[in-house]
Amino acid sequence: MKVAVLVIGELRNSEFVKNLYDGCDVFVHTDKKYGEPFPAKYQYFDENQERIVDKLINRKSENFHRIIQWLRYHELLKNDLSEYDVVVKVRTDLDLFIDNFYDFLKDKTIEENTLYAIKDIIWYGTCDTIMKTDFYNDIVFYLGMDDVFLPMNYDAILKSDLDTMEFTWLNWKTIIDYTGDIKQEIIDKRENLESEDKNIITYDDYHTQPQTYHRFKSEKFFLHYVLERDICIKKLGFDLKFRNRIYG
């Protein structure tokens, strides 16, 4: 098995994660100020991209700074990854309760059209699946859509583990009690859901989530994007925590 690891963003406490990449080929997109602390192919923004990044950073109130991670991911996916059986996307501020990615993955069956993930911070899948998760070019279609109903891929949701990402953040139809058993709600009301999806949707027809409104809600929109690509989301298969705090 060949495994590629994509490391994105700030290289925080990288001395803690080097052994995680044993047996893998590593691709990193970061800033030059972090140096090159472990063997990898390093990539950086070019001058034009730096100009875009500066503008995104200055629009934090709209959550636009979170677009930067998707641009980094987009650039890493331009590498030829076709020779790899599994591709992992990760960051360096996580403690993962495995020895290394290669030993964890080498005997596992990785299904096509399945993303093994926790939120939008770490995931892995086959190369073909990972290439379908290049969200960057579609972000423009999601901007300002936080309180807008977006039709859902119910089949992909039913195949997914719903504690992997914030499925409750999606703007569910009002006939769905999204605080309960979402899968059973979909099964029981599937005919009505699909019928109503074809009709004009008003604010009275769906829930908008009680969150702070942002023009770009990164995890929520990525979740919808992945489901629309007929990708289901499954559990990672191991536990993790942020280095300075417990996840969750």
| Per-residue pLDDT tens digits for 35-45 | 999 999 999 99
Q: Is the overall model pTM greater than 0.85, yes or no?
A: yes
Paired strand residues for 88: 5, 124
pLDDT tier, 209 (very low <50, low <70, confident <90, very high otherwise):
low
Question: Which of helix, strand or coil describes residue 122?
Answer: strand
**CB–CB of 222/233 below 8 Å?**
no
- Cβ atoms of 86 and 3 within 8 Å: the answer is yes
- Split at pLDDT 50, 70, 90, the class of 146 is confident
Strands (DSSP E) contained in 14-148 are: 25-29, 41-43, 86-90, 94-96, 114-118, 122-125
Instruction: Report the pLDDT value the prediction gives residue 137, as an integer from 0 to 100.
Output: 96
Confidence of residue 16 (pLDDT cuts 50, 70, 90): confident
pLDDT at 115 over 70: yes
Percent over 90 (pLDDT), the chain = 67
**Predicted local distance difference test score (pLDDT) of residue 248:** 42
Comparing 56-65, 100-109, 160-169, which segment has the lowest mean pLDDT?
A: 56-65
Task: Report pLDDT for 235.
Answer: 96
167 in Cβ contact with 222 (< 8 Å): no
